[in-house]
Structure 1
């Protein structure tokens, strides 16, 4: 396992997050951190694919799939940053920290470290020596298309719902949002299993790095910065309408709506 490619990603993401912190100071919108995170993830996938010592097939796959996933996500998040107020998660942090820029700097650099950890599945795939289009590879590509497609549909459905002024203060229950309170998060999580499958064939010590993707994303979405913050903000802004939504709709894994399901 070579460490110099990881060191390059560490330095590059740290510099990118420094730039993001400076932008945040000027705009008072910390949402730029998510845009830079996604863009750095896209770049890291293509970087590892370019310098990896694995076979051509897995390296090409991770460059195309990881690169496109991060690029699409960065554009989607950038649109939100440019056209919406600062995300409620970061408003809460700003209020809690009283706008302390030193703490925001540490937060941005912490995101650089997370970028490096989340990029490890790309590293694992780029080290896969198998040049065969195996069953695991095919399933991995299928998982990627279903997951990224599902996340894109969920994002589009929510964006269309928010565009209608008649829906102000209401909770989206259309399309995938009828079956999960966070379908975009669910598909974002399942997307990471595609790299676990694409890394199949690498030595165990390298392949095991691919597990960091789904493990870290599940922890982040369900217990750290994802669902807890979003739901608290939704309860503040939509009150009883969202409480009813919570009672009727699965919190994460899509399921048929009904009585309280978690």
Structure 2
């Protein structure tokens, strides 16, 4: 295992360092999102190629991580990740002040290490020699498909809503967005729960819970939802506050009645 993990981490750190040097010139730290996605896929590739486990099992997780990475890269590129720095990183530039490039360097390198941590389910599954696919793995594949389709649909619904000029300044409440303020993040997290579930059929599979746990923490408390909520309140004000009162924060759920409607 060490012979796979250490070289993979080293390559990922070097890759992210190279991306950091690029953003020194472009002043677009948003490429860290592309870099993180590539690192996650790279770890998946290494475990697929070097892991001693059952080939069909490795094929399954390789397909899942490949489709996940491909969709995310497409999504980031279509949003203009190479054209303009994402608002999250513009904000960091304002808030971090002194020694900002050193702080960005630590961010880029941290993302490489984070990619290793959340791909632990694939590392565990790649070492499973059992020559059959178990119930946990079949269940994980079904769960993953639900997460993948759910996130794709949520992103498309939001994109279609924003493309209608009459919706400017309004909050998307169509489709999945009627039941959750962040259905895209919820279904992203569902996929990481699926990776954990996939690993449960393997020895030490329970350790893989670190992947959905870490993703939950970052989505809910760090990089995902907090900034999205702040921007929504800034841009849409009372319309979004009304949405907050009636709509589930994360898990898709039926609408609540507003206090003044009781």
Size of the alignment, in residue pairs?
258
Counterpart of 1:144 in structure 2 is 144
Judge conservation of contact 1:46–1:62 (CA < 8 Å) in 2: no
Shift of 1:8: 2.0
Query: For 1:227, which of 219, 225, 229 is the aligned residue?
Result: 225
From the superposition, tell whether residues 20 and 140 of structure 1 become closer, same or farther in structure 2 (CA, over 3 Å): same
Judge conservation of contact 1:52–1:126 (CA < 8 Å) in 2: yes
1:87 aligns with 2:93: no
TM-score by length of 2: 0.92
- How many Å separate the matches in 2 of 1:173 and 1:97? 35
Q: Superposition pairs for residues 96-115 of structure 1, below 5 Å?
A: 96-98=95-97, 100-115=100-115
- How many Å separate the matches in 1 of 2:73 and 2:258? 34
Shift of 1:85: 4.2
1:20 aligns with 2:19: yes
Shift of 1:55: 1.1
Judge conservation of contact 1:186–1:252 (CA < 8 Å) in 2: yes
Judge conservation of contact 1:125–1:210 (CA < 8 Å) in 2: no
- How many Å separate the matches in 2 of 1:220 and 1:49? 26
Counterpart of 1:122 in structure 2 is 122
Counterpart of 1:54 in structure 2 is 53
Deviates most, 95-104 or 106-115: 95-104
Query: For 1:236, which of 234, 237, 243 is the aligned residue?
Result: 234
1:179 aligns with 2:173: no
Judge conservation of contact 2:181–2:248 (CA < 8 Å) in 1: yes
Q: Superposition pairs for residues 152-163 of structure 1, below 5 Å?
A: 152-163=152-163
Counterpart secondary structure, 1:112: helix
Give unpaired runs (5+ residues) of structure 1: none
Give unpaired runs (5+ residues) of structure 2: none
Root-mean-square deviation (CA), in Å?
1.9
- How many Å separate the matches in 2 of 1:227 and 1:7? 32
Shift of 1:131: 2.1
Deviates most, 96-105 or 31-40: 96-105
TM-score by length of 1: 0.92
